[in-house]
Structure 1
Amino acid sequence: MSAFDDIRDYVAIPRVLSLKLSPDGSRLISVVQALEPDGKSYGTALWAIPVDGEPYRLTRSAKGESAAVFTDAGDVLFTSARPDPTVKDAADEVPALWLLPRAGGEARQIATRPGGIGAARTAGDVVVFASDVLDGEEATEDERRKARKDAGISAILHEGYPVRYWDHDLGPARTRLFAGRLGADRLEDVRELTPDAGEALRDTTFELTPDGSTVIASWRRYLPGGDNRTDLVAIDVATGERRTLLTDEAHDFGGPIAVSPDGTRVACARERITSVDVSVRVELWIADLATGEGRAYAPGLFPTDVAWAPDSSALYLVADHQGRRPVFRVPLAGEHTRLTADDAAYLGVNASADGTYVYALRSNIALAPAPARIDVATGEIADLPSPAPRPEVPGTLTEISATADDGATVRGWLVLPEGASADSPAPFLLWIHGGPVASWNDWQWRWQSWIMAQRGYAVLMPDPCLSTGYGQEMIDRGWGDWGPRTQADLDAIVDVALARDDIDNERVAAMGGSFGGYMANWLAGHTDRYQAIVTHAALWNLDQFAGTTDSSLYWQREFGEPGSERYDRLSPHLAIGKITTPMLVIHGDKDYRVPIGESLRLWWDLQRSDVESKFLYFPDENHWILKPGNVIAWYETVLAFLAQHVLGEEWKRPDSVA
């Protein structure tokens, strides 16, 4: 039996989410997500992974644990909403900061805040953490929060943009940074570092210099007309004094951020401000911490993760590349080189203090994430024992490519089910990635092609224009030309896939989410090639979307002012009269990136046009579908819809949505 036979078995597979290396290099720590006993939600726990031994569980609580980091002494700091066992009738509604001693024993709560504690960083005995704070007197914040709750007030008065982010409302509290020192039992001398931040620390990324003296953080500046820029600032931990380290009206600076071990440099991502004629470009930027002078490194590679070598002479950079996500070594002097030569995607890079190894999570389309050790001298890769054993996939992974009409190469991954052959060709499913600035190169817990392969489908996962890992020109090709240019790329590689004798070119379907959903909608109105189309969290009416998404500014930069030419040329809804392909529309009501109004409008347009269609609606989900029961309902409904229209089976309403 495969873990992909029953979707209930699939959602129960534990998942390794993160990786941190201890200062002495003896063990790694990971946050592992697993299904709760009631099967209705996921919980998290911390696991230790000795570099020369077997993993073992460190924590266990109903509220779970996350955001784990090591102190210099080897203790573990983490956040959890678990109740404090030393306080009678302790409240447990918001995450607090906990310390788990290196020598063992019970974790103890060392800091709390009325608005909870988010990410934390530590160096020496200094700890800096983020917390959401209501404006006003700190001493009365608990009372004011309680009064608001007791009065049943949920209203938020906004005086600027934005007001939402992905799946949560912004405000009324605002993010602040706090600093303290590790004491015998508690975090001592806790003080606010950024009382004047306003909205500048929304979704901030921050790091602490190795001596604990300075916080390096992203800092958002709000401009007229709803515009903003993100700078990098340096905040003195002792005084709270802040200076702007990196600022540029043509670029944003942000995560990933890493400070060199010698405390002299900072590495971060520099992202170009886009416009109708200027495409997105993200590059690795390294700057001097004293002067702010810096430059770009490793041109053409969009940084996903970074870690400094222990001697501060180079960085290890993770970036998309040709359908993989390798680790690159980027020296301060000289050219960058690729460290890992396999087909894997890496994340969570950690360099050992002796410079011998890099540790990271290793995965690919057919390989679930697990810890690995990379020899810096040879590039040799060794998988380490994992807290979550990898499931065996039911099929094979093949790489294919095609030449588009403009001469560009379009490549992708083809998942083939067991038994696919010329005598038994597999039905075909095109799965278009989101983003659009992204790549199919990693294991997907959410968009799982192996569930489809277990049921006999060949799944094509292509990287058309706008995909990362193929140079800036691949992004430039599709900038401001989403539908037509992307469809031409997809058509080219689908032609190659359907020409194979182990794929049935008469039983074909397409699906996608987010930008992939936009393209699914676009294909529905511009081709009759597919017998069924599944569209998830999809853009439909671009003018409507651009004003209701949580980040209107970002899309306006590419499409222009509302009413501009691109809205009419690229909006899928204008082709509603040409749609004849049966469509399954899926959306979560808590999706603020692509608001539910897109699918509500699409659903009505399909209904009034008598297009055969169904609408799978999740009142309590966001851009993704995350709750185990809803994941089951999602896959069962998609599979039933495809079975009806691609396999020719009678429609059977899944029990999960009965």
Structure 2
Amino acid sequence: MKAADLGLLTGVSTPTVHPGGTRAVVSVTHPSLEADATVGQLWTVPLTGHAAPKRFTRGFRDTAPRFSPDGRLIAFLRSAPKAAPQLYVVDAAGGEPVQVTDRKLGVSEFAWAPDARSLAFVSREPEQGRYGTVDGLEANAEPPRHIHTLKYQANGLGYTNDRRAHVFSVPVPDVWGEPVPKAAPETDGTTASTPLIEEPRQVTTGDWDDGSIAFSPDGATIAFVSARHESRDDDLRSSVFLLAADGSGDPRDVTSEHGSFSIVDLAYGLNGVLYFSAQDVGESGRDFVGRNTALYAIDQQGDAPRRLTDPETVDLTESAIVAYQDDSVLVTDRSRGALVLTAVTSSGELRRLTDPATVVGGVAVAGDVVVASVADAETAGEVAIVGDAGGDGALRKLTDFSAELRSAGVLPIRELTVTARDGYPVHGWVVAPEGDGPHPVLLNIHGGPFAAYTGSLFDEAQVYAAAGYAVVMCNPRGSAGYGQEHGRVIRQAMGTVDLTDVLDFLDGALAENASFDASRVGIMGGSYGGYLTAWTIAHEHRFAAAIVERGFLDPEGFVGTSDIGSFFGDEYVGTDPELMRSQSPQAVVGDVRTPTLVLHSANDLRCPLGQAERYYAALKRNGVDAELLIFPGEDHELSRGGRPRHRAQRFDAILDWWARHLPSAQNRG
């Protein structure tokens, strides 16, 4: 795979399955270098017979499809170029989609009412005078923002306190009725004001964000997640609230008195049990480091939640909750670089439905039919039917959206476990270029740190390997998917065992692969990976060059500038000045001698640009061969969700850096 092949990198959404179990619908998207945007449409995938999948809609970017409970309609989100996504519905048999919303800031999620007559959705309500609510008033001409909280921004969004997310309700339009034409002007100059789109009813209000909505099976109640407690600016707690679906009465908090929860997701089971997943963030409400997400159940209103899964061994942080059978739900367990589809009964019994290597991105159920979106070493995303739960975890793939990508070239990934210097097993993967070598080597370090590499197709590893580099990547201590102790051991001890783990894994990979050139090695990483790269090159001088991308580089400067600066650094590196300095790449930048490319995005609110600028300036002042590359208009998600042309230019810049400092047979500049 080359940078020019980005357009072949197809993503597949969580599926929705017709209640009859005959077909699934997914959103299939890909980066378009021509449009310089992510584009895609809905596809229908037959579950029986031999018919091929086919495109169902033709919008610019159609996502998040969901069948109505009666199977007659499909609701989805449609985005026009440079416009916020709006809610649409279409006849499930096909036809012209009908627009449901026209929200100034778009729609982020939605849910069908059980009777299929209305939809609830979440949208941000802009403060009057901002975000285009006044025609002709530019953003730079808006009045000043008066900030009185610690949390007021979010990466990829910007300010949040003046555009809160709330729940709305809207009737489902008649997709079979005659469309309402725009009225023509009368001779007296007036024009009839017949609305083309029905105005939604706002269900929640207040100076907080609401989301993760779900209807109870009887349609009488909407459950949602919010942080409305007085200390919400100082902690990470949130709660599950219940509200009458007609908006009457006040929302009722049903979880906060029973634990210190940070809610991840919620859903009702088929039997009316309310399930939610949450991290236990401790007495302080901020103890999030390395905390796995557990599943809880509330059997009846007024009952205390029951914990169903053990957070020491099961992690549902990247999981939705999907009603499955009368007494169970489906979740995905983050485990050793995979997302394993797992059925959990209301008594807490677990049953694995997929193998321990596949990444299950989303799942939908209709009766006994279970359909998942999956990724593995040969595909970026496909639709598959999940086999018998008690069987061998077999998946029957129904699509082959990655066929063109494989034709362009996908190199195999090999799993490896290396014993670290203290005897700890470090798990990861290597991707080798074609040919006998010797190949220069790139040590890649993931972000997070409580995240993980997987064994599925990874565009970065493929691009670097195609350029002639052996790619080495592992999940050191601090990563997710190996139990809480594995994730929490670097709390206020960053740059300790995580540093030795990546170096020991590198040495193990070099020893295992005779074609890898141990004398020619580079190092690179983004976010936490940028942190550990910068920390490593201050302590280890074996690398030909380094790339420090969107890094957490200066804990002192993180507070008050990052959207997570009010808690992230406090929990990961502590608050004692000496303790912070003992884990700070900025504090040891004077020890760096390795040529370093510092790569960052101008609108990064997670690791703000100042982190990169200070680090780069120190490198230059110390005489290090260093360069700074800044991408305009991009945020912390550049490498995954940035403009396609910027993503391709990023790859070009990275390969140019390696061509100059660590050339390969295929990459000599």
TM-score normalized with structure 2 length: 0.87
| Rounded Cα–Cα distance in structure 1 between residues aligned with 2:666 and 2:423 | 43
| Rounded Cα–Cα distance in structure 2 between residues aligned with 1:496 and 1:279 | 26
Residue number in structure 2 paired with 1:656? none
User: C-alpha offsets along residues 340-362 of structure 1, whole Å, 9 cap, x if unaligned?
Assistant: 12521111111232x2x321111
Three-state SS of the structure 2 residue aligned to 1:360 is: strand
Give the one of 53, 56, 59 matched to 1:55.
53
| Rounded Cα–Cα distance in structure 2 between residues aligned with 1:334 and 1:262 | 15
Q: Does 1:71 align with 2:68?
A: yes
Deviation at 1:176, TM superposition (A): 1.5
Q: Which runs of 5+ in 2 are unaligned?
A: 176-195
Three-state SS of the structure 1 residue aligned to 2:660 is: helix
Do 1:16 and 1:32's aligned partners in 2 also have CA atoms closer than 8 Å?
A: yes
Report the more deviating stretch, 545-554 or 556-565: 556-565
Three-state SS of the structure 2 residue aligned to 1:333 is: coil
Query: 1:307–1:27: structure 2 CA closer, same or farther, 3 Å change rule?
Result: farther
Residue number in structure 1 paired with 2:385? 373
| Rounded Cα–Cα distance in structure 2 between residues aligned with 1:250 and 1:406 | 37
**Which one-letter code corresponds to 1:26 in the other structure?**
T
Query: 1:279–1:318: structure 2 CA closer, same or farther, 3 Å change rule?
Result: closer
**Which one-letter code corresponds to 2:19 in the other structure?**
P
Report the more deviating stretch, 582-591 or 399-408: 399-408
Q: Does 1:349 align with 2:363?
A: yes
Deviation at 1:540, TM superposition (A): 1.4
Residue number in structure 2 paired with 1:255? 264
| Rounded Cα–Cα distance in structure 2 between residues aligned with 1:514 and 1:466 | 14
Q: Which aligned pairs between 1:231-270 and structure 2 lie closer than 5 A?
A: 231-241=239-249, 242-247=251-256, 251-270=260-279
Query: 1:94–1:396: structure 2 CA closer, same or farther, 3 Å change rule?
Result: closer
Give the one of 331, 339, 342 matched to 2:353.
339
Query: 1:400–1:601: structure 2 CA closer, same or farther, 3 Å change rule?
Result: same
Deviation at 1:24, TM superposition (A): 2.2
Residue number in structure 1 paired with 2:184? none
Q: Which runs of 5+ in 1 are unaligned?
A: 84-91, 654-658
Do 2:549 and 2:600's aligned partners in 1 also have CA atoms closer than 8 Å?
A: yes
Q: Does 1:467 align with 2:479?
A: yes
Q: Which aligned pairs between 1:420-459 and structure 2 lie closer than 5 A?
A: 420=436, 424-441=437-454, 443=456, 448-459=460-471
Three-state SS of the structure 2 residue aligned to 1:205 is: strand
Query: 1:439–1:559: structure 2 CA closer, same or farther, 3 Å change rule?
Result: closer
| Rounded Cα–Cα distance in structure 1 between residues aligned with 2:466 and 2:630 | 25
Report the more deviating stretch, 226-235 or 109-118: 109-118
Report the more deviating stretch, 177-186 or 104-113: 177-186
**Which one-letter code corresponds to 2:217 in the other structure?**
P
| Rounded Cα–Cα distance in structure 1 between residues aligned with 2:140 and 2:5 | 44
| Rounded Cα–Cα distance in structure 1 between residues aligned with 2:399 and 2:132 | 48
Deviation at 1:639, TM superposition (A): 1.1
Q: Does 1:326 align with 2:344?
A: no
| Rounded Cα–Cα distance in structure 2 between residues aligned with 1:415 and 1:73 | 47
Deviation at 1:40, TM superposition (A): 2.3
Report the more deviating stretch, 229-238 or 172-181: 172-181
Identity of aligned residues (%): 24
Do 1:126 and 1:179's aligned partners in 2 also have CA atoms closer than 8 Å?
A: yes
Query: 1:126–1:334: structure 2 CA closer, same or farther, 3 Å change rule?
Result: same
Deviation at 1:314, TM superposition (A): 1.7
Q: Which aligned pairs between 1:121-200 and structure 2 lie closer than 5 A?
A: 121-123=111-113, 124=115, 125-134=117-126, 144-146=133-135, 148-149=137-138, 152-153=141-142, 155-171=144-160, 172-184=162-174, 190-195=200-205, 197-200=206-209
| Rounded Cα–Cα distance in structure 2 between residues aligned with 1:95 and 1:147 | 22
Residue number in structure 1 paired with 2:185? none
Deviation at 1:507, TM superposition (A): 0.9
| Rounded Cα–Cα distance in structure 2 between residues aligned with 1:235 and 1:225 | 20
Do 2:379 and 2:457's aligned partners in 1 also have CA atoms closer than 8 Å?
A: no
Residue number in structure 1 paired with 2:417? 401
**Which one-letter code corresponds to 2:46 in the other structure?**
P
Do 2:338 and 2:357's aligned partners in 1 also have CA atoms closer than 8 Å?
A: yes
Q: Does 1:518 align with 2:534?
A: no
Three-state SS of the structure 2 residue aligned to 1:326 is: strand
Deviation at 1:381, TM superposition (A): 1.3
Residue number in structure 2 paired with 1:272? 281
Three-state SS of the structure 2 residue aligned to 1:341 is: coil
Do 1:371 and 1:383's aligned partners in 2 also have CA atoms closer than 8 Å?
A: yes
Deviation at 1:651, TM superposition (A): 10
Query: 1:443–1:156: structure 2 CA closer, same or farther, 3 Å change rule?
Result: farther
User: C-alpha offsets along residues 567-594 of structure 1, whole Å, 9 cap, x if unaligned?
Assistant: 1110011112211111111000111000
Deviation at 1:414, TM superposition (A): 1.1
Report the more deviating stretch, 582-591 or 281-290: 281-290
Query: 1:380–1:61: structure 2 CA closer, same or farther, 3 Å change rule?
Result: closer
Do 1:582 and 1:613's aligned partners in 2 also have CA atoms closer than 8 Å?
A: yes
Query: 1:144–1:111: structure 2 CA closer, same or farther, 3 Å change rule?
Result: closer
Q: CA RMSD in A?
A: 2.8
Residue number in structure 2 paired with 1:43? 39
User: C-alpha offsets along residues 389-409 of structure 1, whole Å, 9 cap, x if unaligned?
Assistant: 362254322111122233321
Report the more deviating stretch, 67-76 or 436-445: 436-445
Deviation at 1:560, TM superposition (A): 6.5
Give the one of 371, 391, 412 matched to 2:405.
391
**Which one-letter code corresponds to 2:464 in the other structure?**
M
Give the one of 291, 297, 306 matched to 1:295.
306
| Rounded Cα–Cα distance in structure 2 between residues aligned with 1:519 and 1:366 | 29
**Which one-letter code corresponds to 2:241 in the other structure?**
V
Deviation at 1:148, TM superposition (A): 4.2
Report the more deviating stretch, 572-581 or 175-184: 175-184
User: C-alpha offsets along residues 216-268 of structure 1, whole Å, 9 cap, x if unaligned?
Assistant: 11111354593132111111112343111111586334233221022222232
User: C-alpha offsets along residues 72-129 of structure 1, whole Å, 9 cap, x if unaligned?
Assistant: 132111222459xxxxxxxx95433211111322111123334433311002223101
Deviation at 1:492, TM superposition (A): 1.6
Q: Does 1:17 align with 2:13?
A: yes
Give the one of 205, 212, 226 matched to 1:219.
226
Do 1:26 and 1:51's aligned partners in 2 also have CA atoms closer than 8 Å?
A: yes
Deviation at 1:48, TM superposition (A): 1.5
| Rounded Cα–Cα distance in structure 1 between residues aligned with 2:155 and 2:130 | 27
User: C-alpha offsets along residues 401-458 of structure 1, whole Å, 9 cap, x if unaligned?
Assistant: 12223332111011122224xxx3322111111011011115466x520111112211
**Which one-letter code corresponds to 2:450 in the other structure?**
V
| Rounded Cα–Cα distance in structure 1 between residues aligned with 2:287 and 2:94 | 57
**Which one-letter code corresponds to 1:236 in the other structure?**
A
Residue number in structure 2 paired with 1:548? 561
Query: 1:187–1:244: structure 2 CA closer, same or farther, 3 Å change rule?
Result: farther
Q: Paired residues, what number?
A: 628
User: C-alpha offsets along residues 117-169 of structure 1, whole Å, 9 cap, x if unaligned?
Assistant: 33110022231011222457xxx999953364499327433332312111221
Three-state SS of the structure 2 residue aligned to 1:116 is: coil
Report the more deviating stretch, 211-220 or 429-438: 211-220
